[in-house]
């Protein structure tokens, strides 16, 4: 990977250069083959009416005569920033030694090992990372996959003010630097652990599966990283892998990963109206589902291999009872708190009819692939949302099960009961009738419920007919007979 791509990805993710050029006088020392690119890139980030007075030196010219940096203009700039893919630390040590020997008032910094780390750890940009580091009393990592609700969880943990500042510090830029630039990821972690702790000395981070996989694949010192520094692991899982994959697809299509304002929520939904789910999108979702299942297997193997006993949190359960699960996490981390903690998040849940449409289309197309385990997960989600009285969500999961099991009369009966409790009379009538057409094993119950809905809707003749059918099947059914008498009296 070329330096051009690395710098571009870092800027996209961190706005590093936008922050850097707030300082108007800097000297950059680069290897020859990317001085021009760096100069042009920084110029593109500068305001037209506020040009930056930067100087650029080639390391090949400087290394043979370090006295160049003692020239007046470089002394006035006061800061030299080293930009090198492979030799950042070598150049740094040479320059630092010269500056100390000649007592020069120049600060020597590395673009990746100082400035990038400072930006990621929310520190002053132009400061060295070479200083004594304190180790937190508690250090934990949330390991997960994209679109699992991890940003929401991190924001809630941050709001407690006792659980560190968990965030995804190990993102693509740090992965690229580790791969391509001899970046010391362990030192990076230690500096984060020094800078991003709450007053009670707690540090938290979030790490995606792909980063952990790279650590193992490249045979980096994973054991010391995960066991030597991180004392507790929280595994955040999303039960509904199809919804997770759809969420990722829509985030990529809209470039909206998180929403913090009502106005943006409105704009987001307007934008969704112009998106259609294609067959290519369904294939994309299918690939993502496979990858998420593999990631889940990877985590299980990882925990077993390194003897890790994580706290497992299912997103759907946590999302229903966020405060209870935050307290559960704090107990797991052995963090003492006040008896009644307050939690809050600026994030708004992103849900849409488009995502439901995409889920239904996907499950229709790949019904044969989705086996018993998937159905079991959907049933579990019905239970979660029914218990939380989130009836719309529970009904959606019943519809998904019904689509995958179109001949399951029991599913239609349960869905009809839910629709009835929501006051969706017409839908409930049709769904009860569907369960009966599929030879529901308890037809008396279904006819009685159907009669109830007809009665509530003012369709008395149909209610009478439904109750009479129940009695025909079971002549001595007292409940059906009483209901029949009641509607007949109401009719007369």
List the domains of the chain with CATH numbers.
Answer: 3-120 (3.40.1010), 138-258+276-332 (3.40.50.300)
DSSP code, position 197 = B
> Which range, of 41-55, 63-77, 202-216, 242-256, averages the lowest pLDDT?
41-55
pLDDT at residue number 51 = 63
Q: What is the pLDDT of residues 44-63, one digit of tens each?
A: 887 766 666 788 999 988 88
pLDDT tier for residue 330 given thresholds of 50, 70 and 90: very high
Q: Is residue 135 a contact partner of residue 209, using CB atoms and an 8 Å limit?
A: no
Once rounded to an integer, what is the mean pLDDT over residues 227-256?
A: 91
What count of other Cβ atoms lies within 10 Å of the Cβ of residue 216? 14
Once rounded to an integer, what is the mean pLDDT over residues 255-277?
A: 74
pLDDT at residue number 254 = 83
Say if residue 280's pLDDT is above 70.
yes
Compute the chain's Rg from CA coordinates. 30
Alpha carbon distance 252, 411 (integer Å): 34
Once rounded to an integer, what is the mean pLDDT over residues 409-422?
A: 95
Alpha carbon distance 312, 394 (integer Å): 23
Alpha carbon distance 72, 77 (integer Å): 9
Alpha carbon distance 202, 188 (integer Å): 17
């Amino acid at each position: 990977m070329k330096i051009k791509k690395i710098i571009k990805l870092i800027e996209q993710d961190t706005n590093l250069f936008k922050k850097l050029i707030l300082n108007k006088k800097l000297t950059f020392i680069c290897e020859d083959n990317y001085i021009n690119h760096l100069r042009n890139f920084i110029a593109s980030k500068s305001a037209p009416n506020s040009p930056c007075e930067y100087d650029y030196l080639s390391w090949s010219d400087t290394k043979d005569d370090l006295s160049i940096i003692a020239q007046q203009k470089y002394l006035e700039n006061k800061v030299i920033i080293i930009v090198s893919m492979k030799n950042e630390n070598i150049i740094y040590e040479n320059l630092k030694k010269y500056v100390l020997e000649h007592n020069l008032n120049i600060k020597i910094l590395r673009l990746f090992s100082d400035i990038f780390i400072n930006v990621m750890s929310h520190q002053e940009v132009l400061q060295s990372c070479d200083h004594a580091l304190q180790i937190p009393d508690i250090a934990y990592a949330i390991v997960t996959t994209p679109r699992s609700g991890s940003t929401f969880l991190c924001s809630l943990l941050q709001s407690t003010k006792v659980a560190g500042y968990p965030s995804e510090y190990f993102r693509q830029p740090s992965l690229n630097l580790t791969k391509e630039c001899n970046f010391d990821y362990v030192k990076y972690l230690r500096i984060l652990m020094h800078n991003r702790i709450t007053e009670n000395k707690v540090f938290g981070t979030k790490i995606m599966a792909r980063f952990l996989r790279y650590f193992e694949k490249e045979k980096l010192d994973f054991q010391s990283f995960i066991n030597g520094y991180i004392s507790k692991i929280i595994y955040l899982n999303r039960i509904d892998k199809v919804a997770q994959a759809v969420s990722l697809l829509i985030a990529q299509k809209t470039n909206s990963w998180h929403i913090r304002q009502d106005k943006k929520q409105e704009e987001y939904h307007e934008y969704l109206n112009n998106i259609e789910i294609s067959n290519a999108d369904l294939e994309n979702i299918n690939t993502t589902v496979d990858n998420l299942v593999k990631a889940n297997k990877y985590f299980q193997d990882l925990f077993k291999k390194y003897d890790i006993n994580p706290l497992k949190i299912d997103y759907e359960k946590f999302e229903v009872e966020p405060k209870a699960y935050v307290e559960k996490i704090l107990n797991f981390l052995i963090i003492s708190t006040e008896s009644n903690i307050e939690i809050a998040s600026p994030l708004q849940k992103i849900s849409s009819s488009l995502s439901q449409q995409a889920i239904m289309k996907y499950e229709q197309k790949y019904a044969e692939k989705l086996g018993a385990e998937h159905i079991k997960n959907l049933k579990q989600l019905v239970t979660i949302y029914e218990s939380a009285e989130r009836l719309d969500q529970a009904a959606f999961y019943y519809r998904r099960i019904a689509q995958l099991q179109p001949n399951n009369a029991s599913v239609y009966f349960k869905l009809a009961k839910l629709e009835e409790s929501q006051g969706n009379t017409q839908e409930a009538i049709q769904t009860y009738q569907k369960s009966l057409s599929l030879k529901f094993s308890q037809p008396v119950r279904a006819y009685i419920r159907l009669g109830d809905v007809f009665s509530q809707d003012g369709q008395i003749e149909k209610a009478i007919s439904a109750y009479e059918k129940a009695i025909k099947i079971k002549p001595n059914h007292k409940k059906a007979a009483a209901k029949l008498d009641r509607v007949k009296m109401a009719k007369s």
